[in-house]
Amino acid sequence: MPSSIQVQKTITVGKSSTIESPSPCTHYSVVFEDDGKTGYFYGLDKSKGDDPICDALQVYNVAAVADRDTPSVVQIAWSHDGLKAVLVINRYPHAIFDFQAKRAYCRTNFPAPDRRWTAFGHEWEDSALNLFK
């Protein structure tokens, strides 16, 4: 399924930043947040009201990012059906939410998944990138 970049922003790792990207055609949304210590990617179901977070994926620990002082380009792309989102930093995919399959993937495989939302782990699979072709 083809995809398109919905949001692009340049950040400096370790400086507070929040990037939200709603699905172009569904009630889902994703948020990337750098709180100064960690970077997280959140999947949200906006139809859930007061508690929209489906799951959270740690993208990085700021202290472990070697080039954290160099500006980074963050992109969020959505599949055309609006059910899959990918977080790309400096042209490298880091995390994916597949809302249709209730599954998330991240390179850190952390934290443990929210079992109220998914029966799957967060293990990265290169094959998940095929969701965006």
- In this model, does residue 111 exceed pLDDT 60? yes
pLDDT tens figures, 47-105: 998 899 999 999 999 999 999 999 999 999 999 999 999 999 999 999 999 999 999 99
- In this model, does residue 1 exceed pLDDT 70? no
pLDDT, residue 107, reads 98
CA atoms within a 13 Å half-sphere pointing along the CA-CB vector of 81: 11
Domain count, the chain: 1
In the chain, alpha helices (H) = none
In a domain, residue 133? The reply is no
3-class state of residue 62 by DSSP: helix
What pTM value is reported for the model? 0.96
CA pseudo-torsion sign 52, 56, 59, 60: positive
| Range(s) of the domain holding residue 58 | 3-128
How far apart CA 111 and CA 19 sit, in angstroms, is 20
Mean pLDDT in residue range 9-36: 97
- In this model, does residue 2 exceed pLDDT 90? no
3-class state of residue 131 by DSSP: helix
What is the residue-averaged pLDDT of the chain?
A: 96
